[in-house]
């Protein structure tokens, strides 16, 4: 019997998913285990794989199948899958294969060099590599914008966050800027009345790792389908059946690595909770980058920094790390809920964190639109950091504009999804609180299954079946409403 057009498409996308699996694991290895000498060969191999995937996806026959499948009798789930297939096809078909390969190679080179250039504070060495990535990203943005009929930056933003535009971001971020600086100042003044005491190290890496693994278990991570490793920049990668998360350790700071593990575990639980019965199909994938980020921030900020969870966490910390005066319960909670503006984004508290994102959004948007050049980044970064947080990064590139990995591979349009994710996370936690009247006491007792079941039912199991807007409306009863984020911050910190 001749397969239908839709069946031909599902076979093609299953094949693409398998290549994507190999690419994800090879990428994870490049960031964690690969010796430096393997960089060039691995970059070329991954570029070759990306070109192969691009060729399969953009074959004219795939376009024909997409057109014909529209006329076939499909159920609601298949229609959603077809919608996502078309989106993947259109995103890829816009670009020539040569650009896909060039961008992959440039990104791999830039990221590999960044690993040694960042610790050396070597902006002069890093800038030429970044300039090439920016050049290719601008070329990609121009092609996408011409096809989609939007601005260059919006064309890149659409890759990560469908339905979102820079105009909508400007509105959301302008609202944040109208009240967040005052809230930050009030939180700092309140905290100054009883400043928390810093835990004194050293905290051996072996103890930190054991603690992280125990907390991952508490948070429901499936070790049969994933693992924890070390990388220069924490991330979650792999595939739903084999999720790889990483952190980085400092013997001077116990909580940086631990909260990084909790953050990445949130990403991982989302991946592990995606619908396996749709494996290999676009409809199985996470809905969007902001929804993905909402899950990691749900775990790290909404849950793990809450007072009930910190009371549950403290004895687990003491099981692995020798007791210290700073670990008395009141100080333990205060330290993990402290507000302290700093230079490093991934270590930022949740009140000052949006400043880091808006800064990057404004710079990368101007960069892609051609209003600034790579050489302008350090000075702009310093100006915006001083304006927002009163901190200077002049001549400190390592802790300024070189601290993130995202721009090294051309991930422009990604950063706004972090603060969108924080807004979604606050809204979802509020919805979960309404649905689960005993949530606070459950968390205090370490009983988290009801909360995770709620996430599974409302977010994880749906993959990309619904649009982002519909997913959030179904889960919370309303569209994205940043008022929940403000209410959360005011309640916790004021």
Longest dimension (CA), the chain: 76
- Give, to the nearest 10 degrees, the angle between helix 416-435 and helix 166-192: 70
CA distance 228 to 441: 30
Q: Give pLDDT, residue 48.
A: 94
DSSP assignment of 32-76, as one string? Answer: HT--GGGHHHHHHHHHHHHHHHHHHHT-HHHHHHHHHHTTS---H
The residue among 455, 364, 465, 458 whose CA lies nearest residue 415 is 364
Q: Is 337 helix (H, G, I), strand (E, B) or coil?
A: coil
Q: Do the annotations mark residue 267 as ligand-binding?
A: yes
Residue with tokens 């590139």, as numbered in its chain:
397
Distance CA 178, CA 339 (A): 19
329 is in an annotated binding site: no
- Quote the CA–CA distance of 420 and 480 in Å, as a whole number: 9
Which pLDDT does position 173 carry in this prediction?
97
Question: What's the half-sphere exposure (Cβ side, CA atoms, 13 Å) at 294?
Answer: 27
Residue 72 lies in a domain: yes
Whether 287 is covered by a domain: the verdict is: no
Identify whether 264 is a catalytic site residue. yes
Is 44 contained in some domain?
yes
Q: Is residue 19 part of a domain?
A: yes
d(CA 6, CA 11): 9
Q: Is residue 65 part of a domain?
A: yes
**What are the CA-CA distances from residue 313 to residues 176, 215, 218, 227, 250 (Å)?**
31, 8, 10, 21, 20
Phi, psi of 228, deg, nearest 5: -115, 130
**Number of compact structural domains in the chain:** 1
Q: Are strands 226-230 and 236-239 parallel, antiparallel or unpaired?
A: unpaired
Question: Which pLDDT does position 347 carry in this prediction?
Answer: 86
Per DSSP, what are the bridge partners of residue 242? Answer: 239
Token pair, residue 308, equals 């009930």
**Strands, DSSP E only, in 181-232?**
226-230
Nearest to 108, CA basis, from 173, 191, 46: 46
CB 410 within 8 A of CB 116: no
CA dihedral 190, 192, 384, 121 (to 10 degrees): -140
Phi-psi map region of 463: left, alpha, beta (phi>0 left; psi -120 to 50 alpha):
left
Angle ∠(328,330,334) on CA atoms, nearest 5:
115
Reading the chain (494 residues) residue by residue, the pLDDT tens digits are 899 999 999 999 999 999 999 999 999 999 999 999 999 999 999 999 999 999 999 999 999 999 999 999 999 999 999 999 999 999 999 999 899 999 999 999 999 999 999 999 999 999 999 999 999 999 999 999 999 999 999 999 999 999 999 999 999 999 999 999 999 999 999 999 999 999 999 999 999 999 999 999 999 999 999 999 999 889 999 999 999 999 999 999 999 999 999 999 999 999 999 999 999 999 999 999 999 999 999 999 999 999 999 999 999 999 999 999 999 999 999 999 999 999 999 889 999 999 999 999 999 999 999 999 999 999 999 999 999 999 999 999 999 999 999 999 999 999 999 999 999 999 999 999 999 999 999 999 999 999 999 999 999 999 999 999 999 999 999 999 999 999 999 999 99
Phi, psi angle pair for 302, to nearest 5°: -65, -45
Question: Active site residue: 84, 264, 271, 350, which one?
Answer: 264
Q: Is 313 exposed, middle or buried (0-12, 13-18, 19+ CB in 10 A)?
A: buried
Residue 51 domain-assigned (yes or no): yes
Beta bridge partners of 245: 228, 236
Does any domain span residue 20?
yes
| Helices 76-93 + 39-57 axis angle, to 10 | 120
Paired tokens of 284: 């199985």
H or E element in which residue 291 lies:
helix 289-297
If phi > 0 it is left, if psi is from -120 to 50 it is alpha, else beta; for residue 220 that is left
Structural domain of residue 49, as residue ranges? 1-93
The answer to whether 88 is annotated as binding is: no
- DSSP-derived pairing of the beta strands 242-247 and 236-239: antiparallel
Q: Confirm whether 88 is domain-assigned.
A: yes
């Amino acid at each position: 019997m001749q397969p239908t057009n839709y069946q031909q498409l599902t076979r093609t996308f299953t094949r693409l998913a398998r290549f994507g699996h190999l690419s994800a694991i090879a990428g994870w290895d490049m960031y964690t285990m690969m010796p430096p000498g393997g960089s060039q060969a691995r970059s070329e191999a991954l570029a070759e794989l990306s070109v192969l995937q691009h060729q399969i996806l953009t074959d004219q026959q795939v376009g024909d199948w997409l057109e014909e499948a529209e006329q076939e009798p499909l159920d609601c789930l298949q229609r959603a899958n077809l919608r996502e297939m078309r989106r993947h096809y259109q995103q890829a078909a816009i670009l020539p294969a040569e650009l896909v390969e060039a961008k992959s190679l440039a990104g791999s080179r830039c990221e590999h060099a960044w690993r040694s250039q960042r610790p050396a504070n070597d902006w002069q060495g890093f800038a030429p590599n970044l300039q090439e990535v920016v050049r290719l990203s601008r070329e990609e943005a121009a092609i996408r914008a011409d096809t989609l009929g939007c601005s260059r930056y919006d064309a890149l933003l659409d890759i990560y966050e469908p339905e979102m535009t820079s105009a909508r971001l400007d509105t959301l971020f302008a609202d944040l800027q109208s009240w967040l600086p005052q809230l930050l100042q009030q939180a700092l003044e309140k905290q100054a009345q009883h400043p928390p005491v810093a835990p004194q190290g050293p905290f051996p890496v072996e103890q930190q790792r054991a603690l992280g693994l125990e907390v991952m278990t508490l948070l429901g991570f499936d070790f049969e389908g994933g693992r924890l490793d070390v990388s220069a920049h924490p991330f979650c990668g792999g595939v739903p059946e084999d999720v790889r998360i990483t952190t980085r350790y400092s013997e001077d700071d116990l909580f940086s690595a631990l909260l990084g593990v909790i953050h990445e575990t949130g990403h991982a639980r989302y991946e592990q909770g995606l619908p396996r019965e749709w494996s290999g199909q676009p409809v199985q994938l996470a809905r969007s980058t902001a929804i993905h980020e909402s899950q990691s921030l749900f775990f790290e900020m909404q849950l793990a920094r809450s007072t009930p969870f910190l009371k549950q966490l403290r004895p687990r910390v003491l099981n692995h790390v020798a007791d210290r005066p700073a670990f008395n319960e009141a100080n333990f909670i205060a330290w993990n809920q402290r507000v302290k503006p700093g230079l490093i984004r991934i270590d930022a508290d949740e009140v000052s964190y949006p400043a880091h994102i808006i800064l990057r959004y404004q710079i990368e948007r101007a960069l892609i639109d051609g209003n600034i050049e790579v050489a302008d980044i350090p000075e702009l970064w310093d100006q915006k950091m001083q304006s927002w947080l009163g901190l200077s990064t002049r001549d400190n590139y390592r802790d300024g504009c070189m601290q993130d990995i995202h721009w090294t591979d051309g991930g422009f349009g990604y950063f706004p999804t972090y603060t969108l994710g924080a807004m979604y996370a606050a809204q979802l936690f509020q919805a979960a609180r309404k649905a689960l009247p005993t949530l606070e006491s459950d968390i205090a007792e370490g009983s988290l299954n009801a909360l995770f079941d709620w996430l599974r039912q409302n977010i994880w199991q749906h993959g990309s079946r619904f649009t982002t807007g519909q997913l959030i409306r179904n889960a919370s009863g309303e569209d994205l409403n940043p008022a929940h984020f403000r209410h959360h911050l005011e309640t916790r910190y004021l």
